[in-house]
């Protein structure tokens, strides 16, 4: 799917828990001078409950409904970087909307690295309580991978710093320091 042509189209960061979406998203927004939003934080503020409390009271489906509402709101924004929850892109409605309205970047992480980064009591309802968090993470990541693979750009985060990931995103989306020069040159070449 081609990238949206609107220069201020939002950038959605998708990927597994622990892939660095919030950290990388904050740095990316700062580099671009754009706003930053963490979808889970928006949901928590709106509900007045933690993610774990929403899962306990409304189940995963209730949380996913709230997440879809938050994606719709974020898709209408401009000049924003949005860190989504790990499962947000696994709902077809959400992924289709993100792909159509913005630039979607998947941050890739191995299951082992995700478990290392989030810890054994991660506060993440789909892993906490598992007798084998690595096996649970491996199965969940495998199920989600086909959705993550549809992103406009994929950036590996296992062996690079958040700042390096930001640099790769900027380059991959044509938003690096010389991006405006390249766009001008491409317009002149086509004239």
Question: What tokens does 19 get?
Answer: 């892939």
Domains, the chain, ranges and CATH?
Answer: 11-190 (3.40.50.300)
pTM: 0.86
Question: What tokens does 6 get?
Answer: 């609107």
Classified as helix, coil or strand, 47 is helix
Neighbours of 161 (CB within 10 A): 13
Total residues found in the chain within this entry: 191
Measure Cα distances from 63 to 68, 70, 91 in Å.
Answer: 9, 11, 12
Q: What is the pLDDT of residues 46-77, one digit of tens each?
A: 999 998 899 899 998 999 999 999 999 999 99
Q: Are 105 and 11 in contact (CB under 8 A)?
A: yes
Helical residues (DSSP H) of 6-49, grouped into ranges: 21-32, 39-47
**What span, in angstroms and rounded, lies between the C-alpha atoms of 64 and 78?**
23
Q: What is the pLDDT of residues 104-128, one digit of tens each?
A: 999 999 999 988 888 755 555 555 5
């Amino acid at each position: 799917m081609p990238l949206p042509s609107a220069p201020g189209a939002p950038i959605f960061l998708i990927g597994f828990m622990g892939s660095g979406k919030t950290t990388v998203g904050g740095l990316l927004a700062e580099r671009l001078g754009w706003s930053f939003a963490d979808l889970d934080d928006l949901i928590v503020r709106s509900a007045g409950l933690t993610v774990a409390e929403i899962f306990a009271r409304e189940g995963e489906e209730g949380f996913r409904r709230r997440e879809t509402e938050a994606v719709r709101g974020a898709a209408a924004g401009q000049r924003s970087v949005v860190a989504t929850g790990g499962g947000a892109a696994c709902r077809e409605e959400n992924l289709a909307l993100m792909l159509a309205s913005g630039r979607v970047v998947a941050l890739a992480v191995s299951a082992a690295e995700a478990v290392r980064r989030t810890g054994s009591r991660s506060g993440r309802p789909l892993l906490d309580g598992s007798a084998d968090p690595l096996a649970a993470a491996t199965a969940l990541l495998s199920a989600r991978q086909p959705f993550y693979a549809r992103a406009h750009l994929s950036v590996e985060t296992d062996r690079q710093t958040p700042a390096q990931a930001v640099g790769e995103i900027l380059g991959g989306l044509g938003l690096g320091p010389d991006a405006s020069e390249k766009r001008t040159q491409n317009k002149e070449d086509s004239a």
